[in-house]
């Protein structure tokens, strides 16, 4: 296992993020005016889950903060599940919008 002390913490799931598993998420999608807006550094798996659940319009309209994302029922279930996995865990989200 790599040295975790310098790893960033995923604001969505709260687990450390290995450097090779970082992904940048625009809290307001670039296509909806968020090109220069706030960005969250997430696990790739967390970022993928967000985009498998929400459209760009839904993200811009109702889920533009980490807290709003965490309150969504499907994302909350995902967080509970992924917290039991090691930080390096990767998987594909098969469900599409």
> Domain spans of the chain?
19-82
Identify whether the C-beta of residue 40 lies closer than 8 Å to the C-beta of residue 25: yes
Compute the half-sphere exposure of residue 48: CA atoms within 13 Å on the CB side of its CA: 13
Quote the tokens at residue 13: 């799931």
- Amino acid 97: pLDDT: 46
What confidence tier does 85 reach under pLDDT thresholds 50, 70, 90? very high
Q: How far is CA 24 from CA 1, 54, 73, 74, 84, in A?
A: 23, 16, 23, 21, 23
Residue tagged 């670039």 (tokens):
30
Residue tagged 């995902």 (tokens):
78
CB atoms within 10 A of CB 72: 17
Mean pLDDT for 82-95 is 78
């Amino acid at each position: 296992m790599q040295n975790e002390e310098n790893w960033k913490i995923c604001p969505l799931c709260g687990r450390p993020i290995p450097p090779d598993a970082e992904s940048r998420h625009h809290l307001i999608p670039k296509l909806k005016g968020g090109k220069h807006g706030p960005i969250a550094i997430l696990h790739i798996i967390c970022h993928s889950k967000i985009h498998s659940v929400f459209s760009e319009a839904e993200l811009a309209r109702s889920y533009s903060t980490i807290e709003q994302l965490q309150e969504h029922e499907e994302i909350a279930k995902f967080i509970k599940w992924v917290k039991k996995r090691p930080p390096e865990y990767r998987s594909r989200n098969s469900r599409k919008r």
